[in-house]
A and B are shown apart, each in its own frame.
Chain A
Amino acid sequence: MKKLILTLFINLFINSVSIAQCCSAGNPSTNNGAFGLSKNILNVSSSILHSYSDSYYKDSKPTDWDYLKNMRFNFAMLSLEYGITNKVKISSEIGYFIDKSLRYGFIDQKRKAFGLGDLVLGLQYHMYNNRTKMTTISPGMKVSLPIGAFDQMDGNVILPVDIQPSSGSFKLNPTVLITKEFIGTKLSVSSFLSGEFSQRINTERTHYKYGNLYRANLKLIYQSSEKLNLGIALHYQHRNKAESRNEIMQYTGGSFLDLQPSFSYTLKYNYTLNTFIGIPIYKNVNGIQLTNKYTLGLGVSKSFHLKTLKPQIPPNIL
């Protein structure tokens, strides 16, 4: 049972998010890494993400460039994870932009979009488990399907690609999750590495390819009590420049480092509350770009054993 608690804890607690920078549409990239979800266990989680961007950077320094005043989104997400076997887990993730909007600095106007984002399907394999060293390695693969809104309008104008709810592109995300626990301590460490490779969008409207995205997340987790877990993560991401009509878009992409404190608390009836905040501590963009100021995430999750349709952890032990 204790193992299961830790499994769920790692699973839910590693949730963090990469916020789309300039010219990135679609779901915010989550790295919902998990390992060891046991056979027949279904984990359901629902979360809300809020992101706000209002500062322009030129290379690694703030600049007083004033084109967009701010850009923000509120994104509701539903995630399902299911253990096919003790070693193979499948997952799906779908989200809805309640409000994705930007406000201009030079004119009193704003643009607003809302609607379904992309559908993400994933597979993860629990490849390596060394009980002596308390180390696990779990590679995985995710694919994003652009099922959501990609042609939203504001009055007489079709919204540009970067504010549409869906990315409009298939994406492939190879991932690796490495976890390490320490004997006799309440500490554990996890590392999550991933890439994102997008298919070129070839439509009547646009010929566009998002820059490849590479992410690395290093997280330290402290189990404060049976119910409360605290975490702090460093999240690095690098996005290559995008391409439009076979030309490199010079002012896209860059490198970003965020600090992400988080906590997870187990409530009654096996519900778990998860929350985190993302604070940028380093930004180095190509050219001039609007950058993220902060990100907030709040979610609730619960696990079920599908064969019994009962919570896996009886409430009386909580």
Chain B
Amino acid sequence: MKVVTLVLAIFGLAFLSSCDKENTKDCSGENPTIISLTSDKEEIKFGANEPAIIKCETPPDENLTYVWDVDFGDLFVINSDGSEVQFTASPCCMGEKIISCEVSNGHCKTTESIIITIIE
């Protein structure tokens, strides 16, 4: 029974412990600048008929890379440098979605977010 108790205790500790996966940002240069993060719509219906177009505007720089993120929903890059995306969502994803654009110059990163609401 000691083995059982020990294993159960390990399970309990594992389940209760939290697991935040926050990014660590090591930066040894100048942060890239995001001039604006804009969307043509604040609210879209679920489905593919009314996508939102989101633009991450930065000063001209060929070395910038863009990484887009949303927890639920679908982002499609629609221009060559990756600074514009189209956002749609399936029915599962209704509600407020936080879409973030992370811009990197190879050394440092800057992130901006925008909220778009998915409705029925």
Contacts and interface: CB of A to CB of B under 8 A. Distances in A.
Interface in B64-102: 65-77, 82, 85, 88, 90-96
A88 interface: yes
Given A151-B21, A203-B20, A251 B91 contact: yes
Nearest to A102: B74
A206 B94 CA distance: 14
B4 A88 contact: yes
A257 B111 CA distance: 44
Contacts of B20: 202-204
B21 A203 contact: yes
Contacts of A28: none
Interface string A140-176: 0101011000110101111011100000101010000
B19 interface: yes
Contacts of B35: none
A118 B53 CA distance: 35
Interface string A65-77: 1011000000000
Contact of A158 (B47, B65, B69, B93): B69
A84 B11 CA distance: 17
A281 B3 CA distance: 42
A156 B73 contact: no
A123 B8 contact: yes
Nearest to B18: A202
Contact of A123 (B7, B88, B90): B7
Interface string B1-43: 0011001100100110111111100000000000000000000
A288 interface: yes
Nearest to A290: B90
Contacts of A168: 19, 21
B114 interface: no
B76 to A, nearest CB: 6
B48 interface: yes
A156 B71 contact: no
B54 to A, nearest CB: 12
B97 to A, nearest CB: 9
Interface in A182-218: 199, 202-206, 208
A91 B96 CA distance: 40
A276 interface: no
Contacts of B94: 249-251
Contacts of B11: 121, 123, 141, 143, 172
Given A162-B72, A244-B71, A157 B91 contact: no
Interface centre among B48, B66, B82 (most CB of A within 10 A): B48
B67 A104 contact: no
A121 B7 CA distance: 10
Given A170-B14, A251-B94, A104 B82 contact: no
Contacts of A233: none
Interface of A: 22-23, 65, 67-68, 84, 88, 90, 104-107, 109, 111, 121, 123, 125, 141, 143, 145-146, 150-151, 153, 155-158, 160-162, 168, 170, 172, 199, 202-206, 208, 244-245, 247, 249-252, 287-290
19 contacts: A23-B93, A84-B3, A105-B48, A109-B76, A111-B74, A123-B11, A125-B4, A141-B8, A143-B15, A146-B19, A156-B67, A157-B69, A157-B85, A168-B21, A203-B22, A245-B96, A247-B95, A249-B92, A287-B92
